[in-house]
């Protein structure tokens, strides 16, 4: 709100607290004159340029206010508010038999929490089983149970590789009978593990008389095994198989060879 000094015509911004301190009578901060600030009180300034704020003519009859914001209750109204209705008093005296109560209303619904906990537990168990899958599959007890479950569900267990359980029973190397400049290497391998293993990666090394490696070949399963179904099944537990490899002959310097699994 704004008011204007009638002596020097200075315009000041005022608030309700300032007006209430002396019932609208203020002192001009510019010329020091005292004046009634309510006489020129205005909510907004008129557009510039302006010289004087419009004055409020004193009314013959004070204005009547109608919009009630707050009014304290009388003693009689307060007593009526605190007294409970008669029907509420009698309602408090009525006791419902225990057998007639709804038991479901007394118990909170816990099944959403139970379902959420079960889902989280299943997820945690699945993650733990996946992290320990090699141990579970290779264990004789759990591996057998998992295999039975997987057979019933028509699924396949994840392959577990343990080349330490692959035993080389026999091996032989000779000149290839039909391909010039090539060697024919054969090996018999047995899976001593209690679980099915994927076909291993075979490493062949040919060395001279001093033990120096002069040729090496690393063969994946699909390079030495043409049977797609056998590749999918893997090497069954306790099963033996013969592997044949065709490699280039490095010459007369090769007097020994070594065969390993990865």
> What span, in angstroms and rounded, lies between the C-alpha atoms of 171 and 245?
11
How would DSSP label each residue in 100-161? GS-HHHHS---HHHHHHHHHHHHHHHHHHHHHTHHHHHHSHHHHHHHHHHHHHHT--PPP--
Question: Any residues with CB less than 8 A from the CB of 154 and at least 6 apart, and which?
Answer: none
Q: What pLDDT is stored for residue 100 in this prediction?
A: 47
Q: What is the pLDDT of residues 126-154, one digit of tens each?
A: 777 666 666 666 666 766 676 677 777 77
Q: Is 259 exposed, middle or buried (0-12, 13-18, 19+ CB in 10 A)?
A: middle
Q: Where are the domains of the chain?
A: 1-57, 125-158, 163-261
Q: What pLDDT is stored for residue 28 in this prediction?
A: 92
Q: What is the pLDDT of residues 24-67, one digit of tens each?
A: 888 998 999 988 888 888 888 877 777 788 877 665 566 676 66
**Does the domain spanning 163-261 belong to CATH 3.40.30?**
no
Q: What is the pLDDT of residues 68-98, one digit of tens each?
A: 666 677 777 676 666 555 555 444 444 555 5
| Per-residue tokens: 23 | 């019932």
| Per-residue tokens: 187 | 């090996």
Does the pLDDT of residue 246 top 70, yes or no?
yes
pTM value is 0.42
Share of the chain above pLDDT 90, in %: 11
Q: How wide is the angle at C-alpha 51 spanned by C-alphas 50 and 56, nearest 5°?
A: 95
Best CA proximity match to 39, nearest among 85, 82, 5, 77 = 5
């Amino acid at each position: 709100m704004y008011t204007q000094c009638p002596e020097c015509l200075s315009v000041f911004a005022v608030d309700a607290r300032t007006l209430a301190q002396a019932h609208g009578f203020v002192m001009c901060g510019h010329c020091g004159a005292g004046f009634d600030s309510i006489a020129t009180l205005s909510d907004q300034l008129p557009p510039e340029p302006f010289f004087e704020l419009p004055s409020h003519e004193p009314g013959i009859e004070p204005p009547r206010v109608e919009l009630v914001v707050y009014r304290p209750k009388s003693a009689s109204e307060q007593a009526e508010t605190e007294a409970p209705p008669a029907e509420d008093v009698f309602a408090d005296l009525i006791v419902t038999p225990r057998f007639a109560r709804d038991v479901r209303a007394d118990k909170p619904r816990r099944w959403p929490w139970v379902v959420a906990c079960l889902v989280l537990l299943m997820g945690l168990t699945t993650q733990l089983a996946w992290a320990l899958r090699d141990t579970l599959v290779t264990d004789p007890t759990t591996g057998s149970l998992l295999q039975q479950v997987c057979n019933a569900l028509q699924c396949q267990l994840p392959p577990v590789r343990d080349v330490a359980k692959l035993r080389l029973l026999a091996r032989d190397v000779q000149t290839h009978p039909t391909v010039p400049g090539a060697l024919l290497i054969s090996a018999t391998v047995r899976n001593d593990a209690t679980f099915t293993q994927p076909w291993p990666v075979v490493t062949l090394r040919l060395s001279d008389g001093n033990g120096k490696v002069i040729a090496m070949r690393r063969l994946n399963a699909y390079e030495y095994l043409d049977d797609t179904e056998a590749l999918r099944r893997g090497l069954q537990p306790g099963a033996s198989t013969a592997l044949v490899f065709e490699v280039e002959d490095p010459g007369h310097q090769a007097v020994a060879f070594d065969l390993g699994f990865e």
